[in-house]
Structure 1
Amino acid sequence: MFDYTDKAALTANKLTADHGIDLSKLPKIDMSTASITEIVHAMNSNCPDERMKFVFKNLVDHLHDFVRETSITTEEWMSALEFLTQTGQGNPSVFDLQPVAQSDSNYPEFKRLSDVLGVSSLVGSMNDAKPPGATEVSDLGPFFADDALEFDNGASIASEGKGDYMWVEGKVLDTKGNPISNCLLHAWEADGHGMYDVQYSPGGSDCRGRLRTTDDGSFCFRAVVPVPYLIPVPSDNPVGQLIVSLGRHTFRPAHLHMMLEAPGFETLVTALYFKGDPFLTSDVVCGVKTSLIVDTTTETDLAVTRARGFVEAKSHQVLKHNFVLATPEECAEARKRSIQ
């Protein structure tokens, strides 16, 4: 398993310096049993103002109850957020899928608020419910790009020097355990500095790519170990000020984004999160699910490192994980159950 101790120490120092937040006081949550609503309440529990904490507890309760009671669709919720954004900012349509840094002025403030209050995650979970055994969803995020280069299996999606080496492998299966061949996998991640390629200037496609599964449903590629990163919410904007007032931070735990597309199956948008990350139970956008937390092992055989095509002969992390896709019919039935 990758050791996050040094990264966590740097993060803890930044939290203390910027916001006076003690990393040891972050919520400890049983992610296997807690609801999204409970997670948001736990994350807001450090708010020093008791009245504010009370008000936001009730606000979150009512918002989440509204989502559940109306069975609101993702499209309906995004339309509502766009309406509110246009009303508040006079901003034209900004809810496209173009990659955009969250600190960008075009990133809608109501969408950001929806994210940090856990509403986006709740709406997504309800509308993208999966049958038992199928891989769960996670938020697409603002950094997806549909024009990433396609690589052969075993190739690297990251250029040299972007972080610690990581080998990723697994299979894509259906809910009955059968392999799915020629499934298109999109993979993208932040580099070892916690930055996505679109956040650099001048930009360039890096730490992202596409590949296809082989006849037996298998895939493999080289990447880098992602690290926790700070979502750059400006402290002088409304949501930034709210986060500080609630005693929260704006960090996301390390994760590897994946999107899987195969004929006859519902497209899966998900992400893998890493065991040992200090922010698993306090993800600013509430995107972590227990089933998506993975562990890595360390490969120390340098002959294996060379055989896998890494430039430097040094140990690397290995992530093995299978994805299970469901058919549209299976997902429709799961969605019916989720709103009953």
Structure 2
Amino acid sequence: MNNAPTDTAATGITPEQSRVEQDLVDTVVASFDNTPDERLKQLMQSLTRHLHAFIREVRLTETEWNKAIEFLTAAGHITDDKRQEFILLSDVLGASMQTIAVNNQAYAGAATATEATVFGPFFTEHAPEIPHGGDIAGGAHGQPCWVEGTVTDTDGTPVPGARIEVWEADDDGFYDVQYTDGRVAGRAHLFSDADGNYAFWGLTPTPYPIPHDGPVGKMLESVGRSPVRASHLHFMVTAENLRTLVTHIFVDGDPQIEIGDSVFGVKDSLIKKFDQQPAGTPTPDGRDLGNQAWARTRFDIVLAPKDA
């Protein structure tokens, strides 16, 4: 791979300089020739070619390269067990969504498999289990929202016992792990019933900014991009012999969808109507919400075969 320009008049790069640069690329690529793992060899050699091509294309200065190293160092320093700045960086560069696109090819049987989207940095293991119709809010602020649907495979067969992880930000735009009091709120897991049905109470999603007090936020500010995400509710669905689905649903009519989601996660098929219910409207499970308005939505989940 040699993307180096050769027109000296147009670029100021002489053929001799181009050869020096290309010789270095070839030497570094060859240094991986004896890598025992063929896949690792492919990854390292391709990464080397693309990285050097970028440096040569933009004629990267030493000052700029040092700034990049400082940026990555800062991302490492701010990352801990509750905040992953490198996931944020991957997300805002669209790398997360591109990796998802490559690894979750569209699959259609009788029904098209539900599309995947970004995992995000705020999933945690060991979220509490709730029963069918339970509440994931755990005291988090926001408008109650009834979420229901089915889990099926692409042939339309119901999937009983699918594990459904759900998590979301509160009405103030924060996930539980962003607080310092150890709360567990706005997240839980449940299982589809014998007919593949599931239902739970959550919160009506609202827009919020990704954490932007670190290096990724400064980068977005420098390039004039918003850190705000479109309103969404996260899902991860696992079932035996079926492809694990990581996705979320978005709120139809949310203006942020048109403005732009900061991590490029919105897909048309994942935009759902969240129908507003006036105070006093009977709830599906008889829950008494007093004089509080609430919302409801439906999200039918279709899982692709595991090896599709």
* Contact 1:194–1:226, Cα closer than 8 Å, also in 2: no
Structure 2 SS opposite 1:287: coil
CA distance in 2, matches of 1:190, 1:131: 30
Partner of 1:189: 168
* Contact 2:242–2:306, Cα closer than 8 Å, also in 1: yes
Partner of 1:286: 264
* Contact 2:153–2:303, Cα closer than 8 Å, also in 1: yes
Alignment root-mean-square deviation, CA: 3.0
Query: TM-score under structure 1 normalisation?
Result: 0.64
CA distance in 2, matches of 1:134, 1:156: 27
Query: Per chain length, whose mean CA-contact separation is higher, i.e. which structure has more relative contact order (CA < 8 Å, sep 6+)?
Result: 1
Query: Could you say if the C-alpha distance between residues 216 and 276 of structure 1 is closer, same or farther in structure 2, counting changes exceeding 3 Å?
Result: same
Structure 2 SS opposite 1:302: coil
Query: TM-score under structure 2 normalisation?
Result: 0.70
Q: How does 1:1-20 map to 2 (within 5 A)?
A: none
Name structure 1 gaps, 5 residues minimum: 1-71, 332-340
Query: Could you say if the C-alpha distance between residues 268 and 251 of structure 1 is closer, same or farther in structure 2, counting changes exceeding 3 Å?
Result: same
Corresponding pairs, count: 242
CA distance in 2, matches of 1:211, 1:140: 18
CA distance in 1, matches of 2:121, 2:134: 25
- Structure 1 residue 141 corresponds to structure 2 residue 120: yes
Q: How does 1:272-283 map to 2 (within 5 A)?
A: 272-281=249-258, 282-283=260-261
CA distance in 2, matches of 1:211, 1:301: 27
* Contact 1:183–1:260, Cα closer than 8 Å, also in 2: yes
Ranges of 4+ aligned residues in structure 1 off by more than 6 Å: 84-87, 90-96
Structure with bigger gyration radius: 2
The counterpart of 1:122, out of the listed 89, 98, 102, is 98
Partner of 1:299: 277
Structure 1 residue identity aligned to 2:190: L
CA distance in 2, matches of 1:152, 1:326: 25
1:131-188 Cα offsets, whole Å, 9 max, x none, are: 0310011111111012001110011001346111100000001101111001110000
User: What is the CA distance between 1:265 and its match in structure 2?
Assistant: 0.5
1:56-112 Cα offsets, whole Å, 9 max, x none, are: xxxxxxxxxxxxxxxx99xx69xx8xxx9899539889999x5x246xxxx23xx43
* Contact 2:114–2:303, Cα closer than 8 Å, also in 1: yes
- Structure 1 residue 172 corresponds to structure 2 residue 151: yes
Partner of 1:198: 177
- Structure 1 residue 321 corresponds to structure 2 residue 299: yes
